[in-house]
Chains A and B, each alone.
Chain A
Amino acid sequence: GAVVSQHPSWVICKSGTSVKIECRSLDFQATTMFWYRQFPKQSLMLMATSNEGSKATYEQGVEKDKFLINHASLTLSTLTVTSAHPEDSSFYICSARAPATGGRSPLHFGNGTRLTVT
């Protein structure tokens, strides 16, 4: 089945530094990937849609200059949290959709990245 790999699985960084999270589709090409954020005991919140070869589209309220998204190839999207602060500590999850043979294919999710900003 379609596999989405996310790296790192967890990261601890100091306030003010930047952190990059990678999302790879291992056995399929993905022109679109989605980035979510999940705070403890809450549901997933869609942050942005990553589009291969073009700019990402951000959901309302998500700062594009703080959460930089790059989708340089059909199998890799990266999310960079710039100038991280403790309030950015969260569980970040990416997802991608494998090409559909008919109808609408499901999203496949990575295992998430736990970011802790000290």
Chain B
Amino acid sequence: DAKTTQPNSMESNEEEPVHLPCNHSTISGTDYIHWYRQLPSQGPEYVIHGLTSNVNNRMASLAIAEDRKSSTLILHRATLRDAAVYYCIREGSNYKLTFGKGTLLTVNP
């Protein structure tokens, strides 16, 4: 049970921002929210993670709703290299990451 809900697929255009949503309505107060992405035949790549506050790094931004029941991964300017499956994961107190089906992001040139 991945305990997060994401759209199966999304499409964007190159150089435009992308907002990838994730619902985690049963999240507990100590669960972290992680985002990873995976290209075919490669291991997942860490994108960003957070607990309560919005987070920014060189790859993306993570916007966490005030009630923490949802979050949004923001890619500020999509490139063709950003095409991948994006996984939103809750990490509980057992430190395990359980992957759901993720969102397949297609970036159009």
Contact = CB atoms under 8 A, between A and B. Distances in A.
A79 interface: no
Size band of the B side of the interface? 20 to 34
Contacts of B46: 106-109
Nearest to A45: B99
Interface stretch (A11-19, A69-77, A81-89, A91-99): A91-99
Nearest to B34: A106
Contacts of B102: 43
B42 A111 contact: yes
A117 interface: no
A36 B87 CA distance: 15
A43 B99 contact: yes
Interface in B24-63: 32, 34, 36, 41-46, 49, 51
Interface residues of A, number: 24
Contacts of A78: none
A99 B70 CA distance: 27
B101 interface: yes
A107 B42 contact: no
A30 B51 CA distance: 23
B68 to A, nearest CB: 15
A103 interface: yes
Which 8 A-B pairs rank lowest in CB-CB distance, beginning with the nearest?
A109-B43, A44-B99, A106-B46, A43-B99, A112-B43, A109-B44, A93-B43, A111-B43
Interface of B: 2, 32, 34, 36, 41-46, 49, 51, 87, 91, 95-102
